Amino acid sequence: MATDMSFHSQLVLSVLLLSMAVSLPISHAQQTPSYMKFVLNATDMPPEDYYDYIIVGGGTAGCPLAATLSGKYRVLVLERGGVPHTHPNLMTQEGFLPTLLDSNSPVSPAQTFISEDGVHNARGRVLGGSSAINAGFYSRADAEFFRASGMHWDLRVVNKSYEWVEKAIVFRPELKNWQSAVRDGFLEAGIGPYNGFALDHVEGTKIGGTIFDANGQRHSAADLLGYYANPNNITVAVYATVQRVLVAAFPLVVPKAIGVVFRDQLGQFHHAMLREKGEIFLSAGAIGTPQLLLLSGIGPRPYLSSWGIPVVHHHPYVGQFLYDNPRNGISFVPSVPLEHSLIQVVGITSSGAYLEAASNVVPFLATAHGFLGRNPGSPAGSLPVYFTVATLIEKIVGPLSAGSLRLASTDVRVNPIVRFNYFSNQADVEKCVNGTRKIADVLNSRSMDDFKSFHLLFGSRDFRYVGPALPADVSNDAVMQDFCRQTVNTIWHYHGGCLVGKVVDRNLRVMGIESLRVVDGSILTVSPGTNPQATLLMLGRYVGLKVLRDRMRPKVI
Ligand SMILES: Cc1cc2nc3c(=O)[nH]c(=O)nc-3n(C[C@H](O)[C@H](O)[C@H](O)COP(=O)(O)OP(=O)(O)OC[C@H]3O[C@@H](n4cnc5c(N)ncnc54)[C@H](O)[C@@H]3O)c2cc1C
Ligand SMILES: *[C@@H]1O[C@H](CO)[C@@H](O)[C@H](O)[C@H]1NC(C)=O
Ligand SMILES: *[C@@H]1O[C@H](CO)[C@@H](O)[C@H](O)[C@H]1NC(C)=O
Ligand SMILES: *[C@@H]1O[C@H](CO)[C@@H](O)[C@H](O)[C@H]1NC(C)=O
Ligand SMILES: *[C@@H]1O[C@H](CO)[C@@H](O)[C@H](O)[C@H]1NC(C)=O
């Protein structure tokens, strides 16, 4: 099944792969951001030093957390990647696909992997984390998320934390031809009402926020360090790969995290240790955090023993309940050229699916794959012709299908073996069928007519698909379910692996270990809202405020 399922993704990917050859014009000089003054190459870090707070992973949640804590305390951020602004592709929307495809080097900002399900996927490996490589769409969580997440949220602080992020790095996008047509198509397909530009999660069709500004420049979690961190009390070490958390287990009754070991590019080991009352925060993401806990001896005892890792604390659910929202949809070459766009509009349905869209310029060389048929504009051996590929996708709410992660190596640089078990829960399949039927409605809308091509053979107009079209009979449940399984892809919203209530408590403390918390996508049972980054950015700020507050007043549980 894995090979079948990945077939579509592979083909679309191989079309997109060719875009690697495109060299993109860089319209803006890359300025050195203000946070650079407290960013150090890990090789320049001392062999040992002491901090109030150590944040492992300078990503989407880690940066706002660090910026907040540095207001009062001495903070260290350890990030395995480099800084984003030295990679021009990271700074623009046009660089999105080239970034995902240029992952050959061990320090490239996107670390790609293929899950055991056969689906290509990616992790951020750069300051700013996945917010520095993502599609930039920004939308707050649904109200249900706050009720069901297992934490006791103070919604006033939640709102203030979202605003803190939005003031600095969130913009209103300008819709061009494809996204405007998509918005109209969603409304014609009955995904109403129209809510205009809105950061809140509201049923219907809306324009969401973006972290790309009016000049097309990306902002990311890394920028929050520049805007908000106290430069006198923060150190950010890049190319600093954390190997494990040091836990003192004896003679204390409750084991306690006391520091971390990290390694620089020259292979030297450094120790970062906690001061009294300090804490370590794991913000290494849904794959990095469970991996680090396992490598630190915090996980299922028999499993750790099978790797010869000394067991610090038996934790049966580390690396379990790992989820990824399946993405399904169609792509076609439109009859009229489209301007490049990543996600800007979302359709929030009441039937378990969210609809989004993108348009990408790719070279049309896919004849070599015997896939798109003859390329009339490009005789053999000539230069490629550039076409736009328009994409309509749906992702399901949740999901309920759960997978897991296990080590591939005790070397932290090696990606763990990941399995998401897409569609193993029947409710997920039904949501996908609902979502893909909605895509069919959108394709049938008047707004999509302009993008159909004239078909020489049949004398009719239809979409020129890249990859599988939707089944002809979308009312047939079995056929639609099969389409969902065969064409599954990822929207990169994977989460879980250290769930609240299973690995961490509602204050995100690793249960059974003192001074160790998890603040990133690994704590999430469901993906918040239509797209998670807004809520993970908010989470970093929110937890930072809570830690500062709790430390200033007498201990309350
Ligand atoms: C290609 C792509 C497109 C996406 N598009 C969108 C979108 O448009 N909108 C949206 O809302 N969401 C989007 N997402 C999802 C969103 O970006 C992620 O869910 C979110 O950024 C995850 O945040 P995090 O803090 O959990 O982890 P991350 O942001 O990934 O941060 C983890 C950090 O930890 C570092 N790290 C890991 N291990 C170690 C170690 N051992 N030592 C030191 N550092 C380590 C990593 O390098 C990384 O910087 C997208 C994701 C991807 C990959
Ligand atoms: C970090 O420092 C080391 C040692 O000086 C050097 O080899 C490496 O290239 C530096 N890395 C970067 C990205 O500057
Ligand atoms: C840095 O943090 C310490 C607490 O560890 C605090 O006492 C000190 O005032 C802070 N310094 C600055 C410059 O903010
Ligand atoms: C938080 O913001 C949401 C959305 O704007 C709003 O509906 C809600 O009332 C706010 N909650 C509080 C407690 O301020
Ligand atoms: C699919 O859509 C139907 C009709 O709107 C709805 O009744 C059903 O609950 C949806 N299925 C799921 C799993 O959400």
Could you say which of 120, 270, 315, 493 is catalytic?
493
DSSP letters for 435-493: HHHHHHHHHTSGGGGGG-EEETTTTEEE-EEESPPPPS-TT-HHHHHHHHHHT-EE-S-
Write down the pLDDT at residue 456: 74
Domains of the chain: 35-171+216-290+526-552 (3.50.50.60), 174-207+326-490 (3.30.410.40)
395 forms beta bridges with: 327, 354
DSSP 8-state assignment for residue 319 = T
Write down the pLDDT at residue 458: 74
388 forms beta bridges with: 361
With the most atoms of ligand 1 within 8 angstroms of its CB, the residue from 130, 207, 342, 523 to mutate is 130
Q: Which of 334, 355, 294, 194 is nearest to 522 (CA)?
A: 294
CA–CA separation, 530 and 130 (whole Å) = 16
Q: Which of 95, 92, 127 is nearest to 109 (CA)?
A: 127
320 forms beta bridges with: 404
CA–CA separation, 174 and 277 (whole Å) = 47
What are 370's two structure tokens? Answer: 């015997």
Nearest CA to ligand 4 atom 1: 159
Q: How far apart are the CA of 352 and the centre of ligand 5, in A?
A: 7
Write down the pLDDT at residue 551: 94
Nearest atom (ligand 5) to Cα of 433: 1
Write down the residue that tokens 């078909």 correspond to.
Answer: 455
Are 74 and 52 contacting, i.e. CB atoms less than 8 angstroms apart? yes
| Residue stretches of the chain with pLDDT short of 70 | 1-30, 104, 252, 362-386, 554-557
Give the binding-site residues of ligand 2, using a 6 Å CB cut-off: 41, 43, 82, 239, 265-266
What are 440's two structure tokens? Answer: 């069919």
Q: Looking at this protein, which amino acid is placed at residue 237?
A: A
pTM score of the predicted model: 0.93
Write down the pLDDT at residue 544: 98
Q: What is the largest CA-CA distance in the chain?
A: 82
Nearest CA to ligand 2 atom 4: 43
Write down the pLDDT at residue 554: 65
CB atoms within 10 A of CB 435: 26
Give the binding-site residues of ligand 1, using a 6 Å CB cut-off: 56-61, 78-81, 100, 122-125, 129-131, 133-137, 241-242, 283-286, 288, 292, 343, 412, 492-493, 520-521, 531-533, 536
For residue range 465-488, list pLDDT tens digits in order: 989 999 999 999 999 999 999 999
